[in-house]
């Protein structure tokens, strides 16, 4: 299955490092810090995350 | 009692006295003093604390060597197609040969030799003759803190022994490689599968490396690689430490080149000394706890299993906190959940199913995560539960 694109999540009050999130077609959801090795590897392959949504 | 005394005066070096009690006593010292008594019923008594090789306790530095723990997949088959993934707990498998052109599956199997209940099964589903730079292997990385007594990289480096049971459909010579964290020191050793589809016990004794940089902290102390067909760029002669990254000898079997090939392994043990001792059967709870240092995880067993206490900082967020039962190697950096629909939240006055779950932050004690919801009231306490028996939450980033 194709690898889904990571999406940035707006920084929450208790967070110091931003988080990214993505969902696979089978429903599995992954999220990690933007400093996590798996996300950095994905970025290094030339990928770009989707922007965070505006907070209401 | 019959006595054997080490003598400081007799020219024979020892003095023997005997009777018919059936008890044997060993004595040492200038004034012969009993060190060991072997009673007629074979009970052995030591006069002083025993100083023995590490043949018990944490003698096996491999975790989940019996392939029993599989928190991620619970025995389900994992297809590895042009990627590298963690499979059974503590084991990392690589099959990168181009999408669709080299594919294997890995799963926990119940096919095992006598004395074991499980093994790790690799099956080649799409074969490929590997290119020179391609890597096919699986490894376990032993944490430096768990093998600092090996003295690797010093003049005091110890001899160590790897033992395991293997059953392969392809006979021939296979390779194992030991490497430091930087993968710039390698030792390739070989073993032979003599009979197809038959479990065979193998032992390999390695002289420790006296050079190179070997971590003794919570990083990789040593990689233990099992080659499944890496390219020739990674060939080296067996039996010596070499600078560089090597996984195999040139004559080793390339499992990935054999469509339908199967490879079972279990009872993997890495221990100090030049003798392979019996497998270290640790209690299941102990082995699971050892694994959870590298993969904190929750798998549901029902549709109501509690997950975490929580609160509602906003009408659209339920934030939970999970306290680790085992201190992770390093704080997790993310989570993977089976599906948001496998979870539920309840404040007592409102409840529902989240649409998304995301990591918030973690320490070495706890992790927080957020459920995206509708209909919550800000400022309430809440509970988060599994709503599916297939629910799973993995805290990622702790593995080596």
For B52-101, write each residue's pLDDT tens digit. Answer: 666 667 899 999 999 999 999 999 999 999 999 999 999 999 999 999 89
Q: What is the mean pLDDT of residues B179-199?
A: 98
CA Rg value for chain B: 26
Supply B180's token pair. Answer: 């430091």
Model confidence at B213: pLDDT above 70 = yes
Confidence at B13, pLDDT banded by 50, 70, 90: confident
What stretch of H or E contains B289? helix B284-292
CB-based contact B333:A40 (threshold 8 Å):
no
What percentage of residues in chain B have a pLDDT greater than 90?
Answer: 89
Confidence at A39, pLDDT banded by 50, 70, 90: very high
Model confidence at A27: pLDDT above 70 = yes
- Mean pLDDT computed over every residue of chain B: 95
Across chain B, how many H-helices and E-strands are there?
1, 28
User: Which residue ranges form the domains of chain B, and what is each CATH number?
Assistant: 3-46 (no CATH), 78-291 (2.60.120.260), 293-396 (2.60.40)
How far is Cα B189 from Cα B174, in angstroms, rounded to an integer? Answer: 8
What is the model's pTM?
0.91
Burial (CB count within 10 angstroms: exposed 0-12, middle 13-18, buried 19+), residue B48: exposed
Per-residue pLDDT, B146: 97
**Which of the residue ranges B24-28, B73-77, B151-155, B348-352 would you say has the lowest mean pLDDT?**
B24-28
Per-residue pLDDT, B53: 65
Q: What is the mean pLDDT of residues A20-33?
A: 97
What value, to the nearest 5°, has the Cα angle with vertex B103 and ends B99 and B108? 135
Sign of CA dihedral B237, B242, B248, B250: negative
Best residue in B328, B361, B362, B395 for a mutation probing chain A (most A CBs within 10 Å) = B361
How far is Cα B90 from Cα B74, in angstroms, rounded to an integer? Answer: 14
Supply B317's token pair. Answer: 């967020």
Nearest CA to CA, how far is B335 from chain A (Å)? 6
Per-residue pLDDT, A55: 57
Q: What residues of chain B, 326 to 365, have a C-beta less than 8 Å from chain A?
A: 333-341, 356-361
pLDDT in tens, B285-338: 999 999 999 999 999 999 999 999 999 999 999 999 999 999 999 999 999 999
The total of other beta-carbon atoms located within 10 Å of residue B22's CB is 12
Per-residue pLDDT, B208: 98
ipTM comes to: 0.94
Per-residue pLDDT, B50: 75
Q: What is the mean pLDDT of residues B28-51?
A: 88
Across chain A, how many H-helices and E-strands are there?
1, 3
- Between A and B, how many CB-CB pairs are < 8 A? 67
Nearest CA to CA, how far is B37 from chain A (Å)? 58
Residues of chain A contacting B, Cβ within 8 Å: 9, 12-17, 19, 21, 23, 26-33, 35-38, 56
Model confidence at B241: pLDDT above 70 = yes
How far is Cα A21 from Cα B322, in angstroms, rounded to an integer? Answer: 19
**Which chain A residue is nearest to residue B354, measuring alpha carbons?**
A29
Q: What is the mean pLDDT of residues A3-26?
A: 93
Q: Least CB-CB distance to A31: which of B316, B341, B359?
A: B359
DSSP β-bridge partners for residue B260: none
Q: Least CB-CB distance to B336: which of A16, A30, A56?
A: A30
Model confidence at B7: pLDDT above 90 = no
Q: Least CB-CB distance to A31: which of B313, B316, B334?
A: B334
Nearest CA to CA, how far is B187 from chain A (Å)? 27
Nearest CA to CA, how far is B370 from chain A (Å)? 10
Confidence at B257, pLDDT banded by 50, 70, 90: very high
Confidence at A14, pLDDT banded by 50, 70, 90: confident
The residue with tokens 């949504």 is A53
Residues in chain B within 8 Å Cβ distance of A14: 360-361, 368
Cα B194 from chain centroid (whole Å): 26
Supply B312's token pair. Answer: 């509602």
**Which of the residue ranges B7-11, B106-110, B140-144 would you say has the lowest mean pLDDT?**
B7-11
**Which of the residue ranges B35-44, B130-139, B325-334 would you say has the lowest mean pLDDT?**
B35-44
């Amino acid at each position: 299955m194709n690898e889904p694109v990571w999406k940035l999540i707006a920084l929450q009050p208790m967070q110091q490092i931003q988080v990214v999130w993505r969902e696979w077609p089978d429903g599995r959801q992954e999220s990690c810090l933007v400093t996590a090795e798996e996300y950095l590897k994905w970025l290094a392959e030339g990928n770009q995350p989707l922007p965070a949504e505006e907070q209401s | 009692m019959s006595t054997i005394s080490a003598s400081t005066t007799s020219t024979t070096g020892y003095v023997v006295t005997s009777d018919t009690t059936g008890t044997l006593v060993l004595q040492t010292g200038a004034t012969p003093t009993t060190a060991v008594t072997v009673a007629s019923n074979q009970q052995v008594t030591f006069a002083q604390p025993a100083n023995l090789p590490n043949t018990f306790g944490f003698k096996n530095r491999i975790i989940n060597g019996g392939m029993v723990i599989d928190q991620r997949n619970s025995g389900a088959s994992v297809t590895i197609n042009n990627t590298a993934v963690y499979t059974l707990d503590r084991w990392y498998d690589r099959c990168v040969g181009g999408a669709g052109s080299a594919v294997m599956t890995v799963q926990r199997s119940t096919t095992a030799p006598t004395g074991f209940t499980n093994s790790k099964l690799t099956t080649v589903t799409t074969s490929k003759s590997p290119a020179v730079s391609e890597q096919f292997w699986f490894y376990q990385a032993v944490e430096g803190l768990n093998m600092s007594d090996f003295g690797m990289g010093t003049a005091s480096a110890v001899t160590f022994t790897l033992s395991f049971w293997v059953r392969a459909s392809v006979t021939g010579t296979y390779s194992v490689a030991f490497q430091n964290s930087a993968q710039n020191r390698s030792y390739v050793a070989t073993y032979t599968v003599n009979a197809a589809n038959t479990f065979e016990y193998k032992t390999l004794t390695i002289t420790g490396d006296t050079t190179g940089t070997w971590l003794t902290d919570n990083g990789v102390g040593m990689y233990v690689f099992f080659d499944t067909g890496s390219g020739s760029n990674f060939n080296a002669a067996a039996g010596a430490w070499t600078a560089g990254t090597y996984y195999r000898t040139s004559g080793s079997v390339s499992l990935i080149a054999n469509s339908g090939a199967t490879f079972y392994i279990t009872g993997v043990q890495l221990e100090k000394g030049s003798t392979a001792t019996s497998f270290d059967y640790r209690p299941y709870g102990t082995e699971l706890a050892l694994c959870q240092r590298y993969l904190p995880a929750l798998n549901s067993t029902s549709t109501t299993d509690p997950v975490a206490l929580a609160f509602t900082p906003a009408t659209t967020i339920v934030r939970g906190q999970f306290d680790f039962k085992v201190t992770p190697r390093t704080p997790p950096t993310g989570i993977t959940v089976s599906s948001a629909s496998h979870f539920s939240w309840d404040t007592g006055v409102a409840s529902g199913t989240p649409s998304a779950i995301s990591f918030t932050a973690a320490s070495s004690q706890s992790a927080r995560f957020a459920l995206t919801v509708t209909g919550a009231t800000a400022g309430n306490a809440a509970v988060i539960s599994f709503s599916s028996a297939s629910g799973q939450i993995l805290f990622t980033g702790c593995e080596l």
